[in-house]
Amino acid sequence: MQPGRLQRLHAAHARDGASCVWCGRALDARTPATTDHVIPKVKGGPSWLENEVAACRRCNGERGHRGVVDWLEECERRGWAPDVDRLVRVLDDLADAIVERGGQRRARPHLDAQRRRLAKRGARAA
């Protein structure tokens, strides 16, 4: 059985550290963590720990349903410090979880496209 939303939030916070994946702000009492689906639910993203990161409310709300790479680039334009390595790891873990558990027919194409775009960004940076 999949853990509840609050348990997944605590697990993502413990796994990733106490900062927003998108802007780098510390997540604490003044800036509480929210659960952000890396592949948005409207694009088929499951409510699995492998698809969730801890993010601040501002970033989660402003991102809306934008894809990972589009929002990542917007964060960089704003001068924020998104954690690209964490995002790559979460996307890779989600891909592995989908292979293991099956299903997620709607999420797979979006996930694959985001992983390809991130890989291209990495190749350009190298």
12-39: pLDDT as tens digits: 888 888 899 999 999 988 988 899 999 9
Mean pLDDT over each residue of the chain, to the nearest integer = 91
Q: Which helix (H) or strand (E) holds 11?
A: helix 5-16
Distances (CA, A) of 26 to 15, 58, 61: 15, 13, 17
pLDDT for 20: 95
- Domain of residue 119: give its range: 5-125
Q: What is the mean pLDDT of residues 73-101?
A: 96
pTM score, two decimals?
A: 0.89
Residues 6+ apart with CB under 8 A from 40: 64, 65, 66
68 or 124, which is more confident?
68
Q: Quick one: tokens of 97?
A: 């979880």
Q: Give me 105's structure tokens.
A: 């027919």
pLDDT at 108: 95
Query: What would the mean pLDDT of 66-92 be, rounded to a whole number?
Result: 96
pLDDT, residue 124, reads: 65
The count of structural domains within the chain is: 1
φ, ψ at 77 (rounded to 5°): -60, -35
Window from 5-9, 53-57, 60-64 with minimum mean pLDDT: 5-9
The residue with greater pLDDT, 72 or 4, is 72
